[in-house]
A and B are shown apart, each in its own frame.
Chain A
Amino acid sequence: MTARTRLLDYVLLAGGGWLAWVLLFQWAGPEALSPPGATLRRAGEYLASATFWPHAAATAVAFAYACLIALTGGLALGFALGANRLAGQVGEPMLSSLYSIPKITLYPVILLVFGLGISAKVAFGALHGFFPVALFTIGALKNTSPVLIKTARVLRLAPLATARTVLLPAALPPLPPVPFPVSEPAHAPASKQARAPMRAACDDAATQRR
């Protein structure tokens, strides 16, 4: 599969989406749906208008704060729960439950606590971002090769230094590609994959001895 066929596939996807939009417009009529061309033109006008940017900036500021809180809080809790076996067993199912609740119904509570304004938006955004980050971090730490953790202990690294120099680099790769937290028990195949390099190293050593 070359890069050109891949590009062709994306073009086909975009074209199919456009066509579906046009057909839907034909079926539903202009009072229900606006056609793609006119919609994009209106979006362009809107981007150029003066009223758009203050609103976009307000959203961006709230998003930045929420993101910061969710990332730091989620990573901190994830590391705390992922580093200790018992804490992980206790905390992970609870976090996964909290992740699954319809948090939009908590918006009234957040409005009552924070009042109408940026702090309520930030709290609501952080509430949504916090749990996935924490769950991902726990999952990533669970799949960290035990050799790395033992090495850190042998080197007598302090907990913070262990987190920064060993656990974080080992946990980073699994963070982006999985689309949602599929929580797996420690004996699921993912941990087998994590052990695979170790086993390969052992096999190498065995062949060399022979």
Chain B
Amino acid sequence: MTRVRALQLVLVGGAVVVLELLCRAGIIDRFTMIPPSEMLLALIHVVGTEPWFWPDVSYTLGNLGAAIALSVAGGFLIGLLVHALPRLRRVLDPIFTSYYAVPTFVLYPLLIVFFGIGPASLIVLGALFGIVAMIVATVTAIDRIPRVLLKVARVSRLGPVRTALLMKLPAASPHLMTGLRLAVAYSVIGVIAGEFILSTEGVGRRVALAYNNFDNQTMYALLVLILGFAIVVNAVLGSLEQALHRRWYRS
């Protein structure tokens, strides 16, 4: 495992060094990309001095939290409902399967008409993007609960509530965790993309603004911040998910 980590570090570090050299040597010109070291310096500068930084970050994080809560809770409840009604499940199945082939962002103008330009439409966009991953994961999770656990619950004469809490929920947790990771990732994409397209505040809007003003320093600083955030969140949730899978499917 440590060897794998070391190789990953070498790959990422190598890519950064190559990019740095290409930029420094002028093969990639400064109007296209600034060297990674300057991106980092620019990020420190933006965090330390720009007055808009913390308000915009907290705006984005607030929307993100609401979108994640909506998509995870809503997706779990709808997933339970869909699993309980096989006819509904069969009808909705093609929609779920093709959902991520549809560019959900085309709905953003419609959301703006309904909810106005502001947190509400961003939250709904993020939640719309994440919810189907959670629904599908919930249905999969319930499908994969081992039959023997339900039999054990019956033999132990557990009531329906205790069966759900003590048997079904822990057994479903690995796939629910997969759903949580995907819902978070998709919500991040939805909220930041919405801000990028049209918004009055937020980190995504700052990226669009910096691009329009030819402010490469700020743009790359914020890109590093956003991509770093997404990668770290994904890595943390991914390792939790792997741990749960290992615990349940050690075989």
| A interface with B by C-beta (< 8 Å) | 1, 5-6, 9-10, 12-13, 28, 32-33, 86, 89-90, 93-94, 96-109, 111-113, 177, 179-180, 182-185, 187-189, 192
**B33 neighbours in A (Cβ, 8 Å):** 109, 112-113
**A93 neighbours in B (Cβ, 8 Å):** 8, 235, 238
* Interchain nearest-CB distance for B147 vs A (Å): 13
Of the listed stretches B71-79, B92-100, B149-157, chain A binds: B92-100
Using known A-B contacts A108-B207, A182-B140, A187-B251, determine if residue A101 contacts B8 with beta carbons closer than 8 Å. Answer: no
Cβ B133 vs Cβ A180 within 8 A? yes
* Interchain nearest-CB distance for A136 vs B (Å): 12
Cβ A180 vs Cβ B136 within 8 A? yes
Distance in angstroms between the alpha carbons of A59 and B227 in the assembled complex: 28
Interface residues of B in 191-216 (CB under 8 A from A): 192-193, 196-197, 204, 207-208, 211
The DSSP consensus for interface residues of chain B is helix
* CB nearest to B243 among chain A residues: A185
Cβ A185 vs Cβ B219 within 8 A? no
Using known A-B contacts A90-B8, A179-B96, A179-B99, determine if residue A32 contacts B231 with beta carbons closer than 8 Å. Answer: no
* Interchain nearest-CB distance for B115 vs A (Å): 11
Distance in angstroms between the alpha carbons of A182 and B33 in the assembled complex: 34
In the complex, per-residue mask of B85-103: 1 if CB is within 8 Å of any chain A CB, else 0: 0010011100011111000
Distance in angstroms between the alpha carbons of A189 and B143 in the assembled complex: 12
* CB nearest to B174 among chain A residues: A188
Using known A-B contacts A188-B245, A192-B251, determine if residue A105 contacts B226 with beta carbons closer than 8 Å. Answer: yes
